[in-house]
Amino acid sequence: MRISVCNELFRGMGWAEALDVIAGLGYEGVEVAPFTLAEDVRELGRSERSRLREEAESRGLEVCALHWLLVSPPGLHLAHPDPAIRRRTVEYMGELARL
Tens of pLDDT, residues 52-76: 999 999 999 999 999 999 999 999 9
Does 1 score more than 90 pLDDT?
Answer: no
Predicted confidence band of residue 99 (pLDDT cuts 50, 70, 90): confident
Element (H, E) at 94: helix 83-97
Structurally, the chain folds into a number of domains equal to 1
- pTM equals 0.86
Q: Residue 2 above 90 pLDDT?
A: no
Element (H, E) at 22: helix 15-24
Where in the sequence is the domain holding 62, given as residue range(s)? 4-97
- Alpha-carbon span 69 to 84, nearest angstrom: 18
